[in-house]
Structure 1
Amino acid sequence: MIVFSAKISSKHQKKLTETFPNQQFVFGEQPADIEKQLDEAEVYVTYGNDVTEEFLAKAPNVKWIACLSAGVDGFPFEQLKERGILLTNARGIHKTQMAEYAIAMLLQVYRNAKTIIENERHSEWDKGVRIREITGKTLLILGTGAIGSETARLAKAFHMNVIGVSRSGKATEHFDEVYRATELMRALPQADLIVSVLPSTAETKQILTYNHFKAMRESAVFLNMGRGDVLIEDDLLRAVREEEIDHAVLDVFEEEPLPKEHGFWKEKNITITPHLSGLSPEYVKRALEIFHKNLAVYENKNGELINKINPDRGY
Structure 2
Amino acid sequence: MSDVPQLVIVAADSRPWTDTVMSLASPHLRTAVVAPDDEIDTSAVEVVVGAPPDLVALLRHCPRLRWVQSTWAGIDAIAHFASETLQITPLKGVFGPAMTEYVMGWLLAIERNVISRSLHTHWSPSPEPRITGKRLGIMGTGGIGTVIALAARSFGLAVSGLNSDGRALDGFTTCYRSADRLAFAEGLDYLVSVLPQTSQTDNLIDYELLMRLNPQAIVMNVGRGNAVVEAELIASLNAGHLRAAVLDVFREEPLPSDDPLWSTPGVHITSHTAGPTPDEAIGEVFERNLQLYIAGESLIDAVLASRGY
Common topology (TM > 0.5):
yes
Q: Is the 8 A contact 1:17 1:25 kept in 2?
A: no
CA displacement at 1:288 relative to structure 2: 2.0
**RMSD between superposed Cα atoms in Å:** 2.2
Distance verdict in 2 for CA 1:129–1:4, change over 3 Å: farther
Q: Kindly provide the amino acid, as one letter, of the partner of residue 52 in structure 2.
A: G
CA displacement at 1:95 relative to structure 2: 1.0
CA displacement at 1:300 relative to structure 2: 1.8
Q: Is the 8 A contact 1:68 1:288 kept in 2?
A: no
Q: What residue number does 1:85 align with? A: 86
Q: What residue number does 1:196 align with? A: 193
User: In structure 2, how many angstroms separate the alpha carbons of the residues matched to 1:259 and 1:192?
Assistant: 30
Q: What residue number does 1:31 align with? A: 36
- 240, 243, 256: which is aligned to 1:243? 240
CA displacement at 1:128 relative to structure 2: 7.5
Query: How high is the sequence identity, in percent, across the aligned residues?
Result: 29
- 67, 78, 81: which is aligned to 1:75? 78
Does 2:56 correspond to 1:65?
no
- 221, 228, 232: which is aligned to 1:231? 228
Distance verdict in 2 for CA 1:254–1:164, change over 3 Å: same
User: In structure 2, how many angstroms separate the alpha carbons of the residues matched to 1:37 and 1:99?
Assistant: 42
Does 2:128 correspond to 1:138?
no
| Number of residue equivalences | 303
Q: What residue number does 1:314 align with? A: 308
User: In structure 1, how many angstroms separate the alpha carbons of the residues matched to 2:16 and 2:74?
Assistant: 25
User: In structure 2, how many angstroms separate the alpha carbons of the residues matched to 1:252 and 1:127?
Assistant: 35
Q: Is the 8 A contact 1:8 1:284 kept in 2?
A: no
CA displacement at 1:289 relative to structure 2: 1.1
Distance verdict in 2 for CA 1:254–1:128, change over 3 Å: farther
Q: Is the 8 A contact 2:237 2:265 kept in 1?
A: no
User: In structure 1, how many angstroms separate the alpha carbons of the residues matched to 2:140 and 2:79?
Assistant: 24
Helix, strand or coil: the match of 1:297?
Answer: helix
Distance verdict in 2 for CA 1:32–1:235, change over 3 Å: closer
Helix, strand or coil: the match of 1:98?
Answer: helix
Q: What residue number does 2:217 align with? A: 220
After superposition, residues 286-301 of structure 1 pair within 5 angstroms as: 286-301=281-296
TM-score by length of structure 1 reads 0.88
Q: Kindly provide the amino acid, as one letter, of the partner of residue 43 in structure 2.
A: D
CA displacement at 1:27 relative to structure 2: 2.0
Unaligned runs of 5+ in 2: 1-5
Q: Is the 8 A contact 1:298 1:305 kept in 2?
A: yes
Q: What residue number does 1:171 align with? A: 168
TM-score by length of structure 2 reads 0.90
Q: Deviations over 1:162-181 (max 9, x none)?
A: 11111121111111111111
CA displacement at 1:143 relative to structure 2: 0.9
